[in-house]
Chains A and B, each alone.
Chain A
Amino acid sequence: MTTTSRTTYQIPIGPIHPALKEPVNFSFEIDGEKIINVDVQLGHVHRSIEWAGTKRNFIQVLYLAERICGICSYCHPMSLALAVERAAHIQVPDRAEYLRVVHAELERIASHILWAGVAAHEIGFDSVLFLTWQVREAVLDLIEYLTGNRITKGITMIGGVRRDITAEMVPRIHKTLQDLKKQVEKLHHVMLDDSTIQMRCRNCGVLTKEDALKLCAVGPTARASGVRKDVRLDQPYFAFGDLDFEYTTPDVLTGEVNGDVYDRIIVRLLEVKQSIDLIEQCLDRMPVGDIVAEPKIPALLATLNKVTGEGIGRMEAPRGEVFHYVRLTGAESLYSWKVRAPTYSNILPWIPMLLGQQIADIPIIAASIDPCMSCTNRVTLVQNNQSTMVDGEQLHRLSIEKTRRLRL
């Protein structure tokens, strides 16, 4: 426990859920209700996946990468595949490039809608949580229809994808997307036009553009602060260079950038619409052809086992840039593998967001970067050298009480 002064007290939050990629522990210094200092500790359950990945062959490691994150279970193996393809000079067939976009954007829709539900829950709108879960369920059903799985999709292959989207599948995709458009409009209205959500989220957890750049923020967290940064556009991979879309910053909707929690909601909801449009563009323009460069796994492995070189794979995951680096030395496994998930880059931006805010705002600000950690296990309040245990439910109740106060 850190020292306690007469005028301030400490709130440690975490460590949290062990199944998550980046467990986090906050130490808050509080003056009354106000946060005046924050420290962040990571790594309570580091799983050594990068080290374990160097003990497996190039196909096995894809499945390991798929298990880095339950929500980004496509982005991680696909970024790894991109890095290996670049090191091995493998050219992916055009049709596979389009199929890769479809799966990436479905993952973004599922992730952003899940996030919207969690964000609503954090400020006491559980009816919105249930609405988002209903919408997400339809997306997961579609993912299952296309890949055979809802979460760990098993669709990635070095040089392409493992399953095609056939002509018979297309009507089902269009139908789900049409239904989704109506539901997303409803979600837009519920989340962006509600005066209480605006009171809780406007000017809350502000990250300035300057801080976003200096602290290397990525994804919707950076874009909500006005940073035009999106790997899909900055350095188009897959078939994104063929498609029509633009950077999503909050001024697209409101004409201004505040960098607050509300702007992060705007960016993600707009990106759901954008993802639907991108999938429709892919279905309209998808070329015929192969779905993988080398369909025979032993032949692929025989090629990769001789490769010497290095490569990087970058993707715009739902939470921001995913980055994988690989080094190959003509062996049956990777010599070096570095994985950088977007939360890694969005941890430090939490600090300026949280400073000066109230305790009751911690849940929604923490959730606003869509971190790869979900629950606040427990909190210890220390005041005048007396400790009081407060669990996650009590912290959540503080947040709801603040929402109710604002409604009156």
Chain B
Amino acid sequence: MTTHSVTPEDVLGSFQTKFPNGITQPRIERRTGGTLKTEFIHLWFHVETRFFKDAVKHLFTFEQYPHFAVTSGYDLGDTIELVYHFSLFHGERGRELSLNMTVSLPKENPMVDTITDLIPGALISEQEKQEMLGVKIRGIPKDARVFVADDIPKDVFPWRRDETGPGKLVRNLHDGDV
């Protein structure tokens, strides 16, 4: 697929065709900037966990090496959601598309495949999600803490909002409510 002919709708359609039952909650956001109202576009969708790795592989079909920015994540109670932030088509003025891919993981077994075999630069972000949210990245090449100090208990995950969150470690900081 050549970059010149690809619209955000084409990219979304390509994922929907490749994973007919795997893509949900699609959203294309169009915003503008400056007096010329230059448009930029953010594409969002959820992908089923079982298709996630193949969906990341699918990013490579758009000719250019995809840029991985970071993974965000949050605790929704029964599930933990990870938002993988990619972008496509950099290097050509005004054509870059931000692509945000969300996977929803059940709290009782929050596991997802590593993408470091496809994008080695994702390692630190995957390590961070493991230690902050208590998710398991299957196949991660360096299964070690990266930001959280060694003296923080192994069963405390700072971004969790349940009993495994940081509440019991917090003192004198907004009363420790999480």
Contact = CB atoms under 8 A, between A and B. Distances in A.
Contacts of B171: none
A213 B120 CA distance: 9
B70 A214 contact: no
Contacts, number: 145
A228 interface: yes
B122 interface: yes
B97 to A, nearest CB: 8
Given A46-B149, A55-B174, A215-B120, A234 B91 contact: yes
Nearest to B31: A86
A238 B34 contact: yes
Contact of A234 (B72, B95, B124, B146): B95
Contacts of A51: 158-159, 166
Tell me the interface secondary structure of chain A in the complex: mixed
B128 to A, nearest CB: 9
A208 to B, nearest CB: 13
Nearest to B67: A216
B85 A344 contact: no
Given A46-B147, A51-B166, A214-B119, A241 B91 contact: no
Given A241-B33, A287-B35, A338 B148 contact: no
Interface stretch (B9-17, B36-44, B47-55): B36-44
> Interface size class for chain B?
35 or more
B90 interface: yes
B98 A239 contact: no
B74 A97 contact: no
Contacts of B147: 42-43, 46
Given A42-B147, A344-B70, A237 B40 contact: yes
Contacts of B69: 216, 314, 321, 323, 340, 345
B93 A239 contact: no
Interface in A1-60: 41-44, 46, 48, 50-52, 55
B107 interface: no
A344 B40 CA distance: 25
Contacts of B164: none
Given A233-B93, A325-B83, A239 B33 contact: yes
Contacts of A229: 67, 90-91
Interface string A226-263: 01110101111111111000010000000000000000
B158 A48 contact: yes
B33 A238 contact: yes
Contacts of B123: 348
Among B31, B34, B149, chain A packs the most CB atoms within 10 A around the CB of B34
Interface in A73-112: 86, 92, 94, 97-98
Contact of A55 (B121, B125, B173): B173
B45 interface: no
B85 A214 contact: no
Contacts of B136: none
A136 interface: no
Interface string B69-85: 11111100000000101
B24 to A, nearest CB: 15
B98 A312 contact: yes
Contact of A228 (B44, B91, B119): B91
Contacts of A345: 69-70, 121
A335 interface: yes
Given A86-B42, A323-B70, A338-B73, A216 B122 contact: yes
Count class of interface residues, chain A: 35 or more
A187 interface: no
B63 interface: no
A219 to B, nearest CB: 12
Interface in A161-212: none
A43 B144 CA distance: 12
A310 B42 CA distance: 11
A319 to B, nearest CB: 14
A52 B33 contact: no
A239 B34 contact: yes
The residue in B31, B33, B85, B87 that gathers the most chain A C-beta atoms within 10 A of its C-beta is B33
Contacts of A348: 120-121, 123-124
Contact of B33 (A97, A321, A347): A97
Nearest to B123: A348
B159 to A, nearest CB: 7
A214 B33 contact: no
B163 interface: no
B80 to A, nearest CB: 11
Top 3 closest pairs, chain A to chain B, by CB = A241-B38, A216-B121, A43-B147
21 contacts: A43-B149, A46-B147, A92-B33, A214-B121, A215-B120, A216-B68, A216-B69, A228-B92, A234-B96, A235-B94, A236-B38, A239-B34, A240-B33, A242-B38, A247-B91, A287-B35, A310-B44, A312-B85, A314-B69, A325-B72, A325-B83
Given A43-B147, A348-B120, 9 more contacts: A52-B173, A216-B69, A235-B40, A241-B36, A242-B36, A321-B69, A323-B69, A348-B123, A349-B121
